[in-house]
Structure 1
Amino acid sequence: MRIKVNGEYFDFEKPINILELIEFFGVKLRPVGLAVAINEDIVPKSKYQETFVKDGDCVEIIELVGGG
């Protein structure tokens, strides 16, 4: 399965859900400051475990970072 994540292509041998994808990329799951979109549709955090990406999907993982 080939998917595009944040502009780069990655191959996975088995289906992967959003939660597993976040862990694969080392992104820390937190209550605020994180958003995931599949094919430009935002996925609610409550659906991360049950939402699987499919071959050809385009995923964006967005982390908000504060600074000053």
Structure 2
Amino acid sequence: MNSSENPSSDPESKEVLINGVPQDWREAWPISELLLEMGANGPGVAVERNGEVVRKAKYETTFLFPGDKIEVLRLVGGG
């Protein structure tokens, strides 16, 4: 899938859903910027956009669109 395509199921929405929480959408908003804002730009982070995993190499060129559903997962190890 091209990172500039909008696979959203709700193109009428002006929000994105991030970890289940609605957020106002902003134009030209890449995943890399979202992660910086969340403090989740370090190792051990995985991102899913509309049910598809986004590769780390594509974070800067994958933009959020209205209606997108984003899941940001932080991997934690321990025992």
TM, length-normalised to structure 1 = 0.87
* Equivalent residue for 2:73, pick from 21, 41, 62: 62
Matches within 5 A, 1:1-68: 1-30=14-43, 33-68=44-79
CA RMSD of aligned residues (A): 1.2
The AA in structure 2 aligned to 1:59 is I
C-alpha contact 2:32 2:41 (8 A) present in aligned 1: no
Which has the larger Rg? Answer: 2
Equivalent pairs: percent with the same residue? Answer: 38
Paired with 2:55 and 2:26, the residues of 1 have a C-alpha distance of 25
| Shift in Å, 1:67 | 1.5
User: Following TM superposition, where does structure 1 have runs of at least 4 consecutive aligned residues deviating by more than 2 angstroms?
Assistant: 12-15
The AA in structure 2 aligned to 1:37 is E
> Could you list the per-position Cα deviations for residues 25-57 of structure 1 after superposition, in whole angstroms to 9, with x for gaps in the alignment?
111322xx2110100100000000000010000
In structure 2, stretches of 5+ residues that fail to align are: 1-13
TM, length-normalised to structure 2 = 0.76
Query: Greater CA deviation, 40-49 or 8-17?
Result: 8-17
Equivalent residue of 2:35, what SS?
Answer: helix
